[in-house]
């Protein structure tokens, strides 16, 4: 994580970041660092991650965090999260997310989230991601929590990059952290 981004997380709670990762090693380092810093900050961390990668993340986290600190990490299966209605349907995903964060909100507990966004093929309805990201951006501001949305930078067509730059106020790309000039508040 860049120090500039960590400073932003400390200064304000409503932070929605697009992370376009390149390579699994970089991805794993970022998700572990984000989680570790969140727990150190006293945040619960909601990791929306797939079954293939989570064991590697968990292994690294358990080597860095105590058993008590690991209780702050809540994993949500990304397939269940994104396809809870049987397809990628933004309103259903939003409902699933609200249900997931409700206990933290009701108990006034500080939390942050990491969402690994994946799809099976480029034939997926990528225009739905715009609807979803607008809903998520509103939730970040309403509930006041940090969220990183991680996308594989090598699988992002220009059309999707434009959508993501318009729906994320902050961007982490190639270890560079910056404000999106295309963001539409």
74-112 pLDDT, tens digit per residue, is 999 988 887 766 666 677 888 888 899 999 999 999 999
Report the alpha-carbon distance of residue 27 to residue 158 in Å, rounded.
21
- pLDDT per residue over 117-170, tens digit each? 886 654 556 778 888 899 899 999 999 999 999 999 988 888 889 999 999 999
pTM of the full structure:
0.92
Q: Could you give the CA distance from residue 116 to residue 15 in angstroms, rounded to a whole number?
A: 16
In the chain the domains, ranked by start, together with CATH numbers, are: 23-148 (3.40.50)
């Amino acid at each position: 994580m860049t120090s500039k981004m960590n400073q932003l997380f400390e200064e304000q709670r409503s932070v929605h970041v697009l992370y376009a990762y390149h390579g699994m090693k970089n991805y794993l380092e970022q998700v572990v660092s984000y989680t570790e810093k969140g727990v150190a900050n006293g945040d619960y961390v909601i990791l929306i991650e797939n079954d293939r990668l989570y064991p590697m993340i968990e292994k690294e986290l358990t080597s860095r965090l105590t058993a008590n600190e690991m209780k702050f990490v809540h994993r949500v299966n990304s397939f269940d999260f994104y396809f809870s209605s049987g397809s990628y349907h933004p309103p259903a995903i939003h409902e699933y997310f609200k249900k997931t964060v409700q206990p933290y909100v009701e108990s006034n507990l500080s939390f942050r989230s990491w969402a690994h966004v994946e799809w099976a093929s480029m034939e997926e309805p990528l225009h739905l991601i715009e609807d979803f990201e607008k809903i998520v951006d509103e939730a970040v501001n309403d509930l006041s929590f940090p969220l990183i949305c991680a996308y594989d930078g090598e699988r992002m067509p220009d059309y999707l990059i434009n959508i993501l730059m318009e729906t994320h106020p902050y961007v982490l790309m190639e270890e560079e952290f910056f404000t999106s000039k295309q963001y539409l508040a």
